[in-house]
Amino acid sequence: MEIPCFGDSLARAVVKPQIRIGAMSRYPIMEGVDHFSWGLSWQTFPAALWRAAGDWGFWRWTARSGDWVRAHPAVRKSDAYSGNGFTKHMETPPIPRMTPTLTPEGKLTMERSIPTPDAAQ
């Protein structure tokens, strides 16, 4: 199935008796929705799956710098509020990008990238 979303993007899903898998056609769907210092935290689910057995999964963006770890969706609920940006080292960090392909059989391939900041920044 396909569901039209903002700006010609699509939510695509394959629904079968034992599994459901879906992904957005691109991420971010709307430019400017990721705040540079706190991000979307727990709201960023560009792809997810669910099994009838009751378990589910999703893809997570993760950035590490020493002991400092930040992720979207957040690793812990306590991290999902202010200070959840991907980096403390840049005033305007790059926004992650994702383009997936979901086949009718439910095979998902995703290209994810976080642009490398210019060394001069």
List, for residues 13-63, the tens digit of each pLDDT value. Answer: 999 999 899 988 887 777 766 665 655 554 567 788 999 999 998 887 777
Q: How confident is the model at residue 120 (pLDDT cuts 50, 70, 90)?
A: very low
Provide the β-strand partners of residue 51: 19
Q: What is the distance between the alpha carbons of residues 10 and 81, in angstroms, rounded to a whole number?
A: 28
The domain locations on the chain are: 2-110
The confidence score (pLDDT) of residue 15 equals: 92
Provide the β-strand partners of residue 69: 64
Task: Look at the pTM and tell me if it is higher than 0.75.
Answer: no
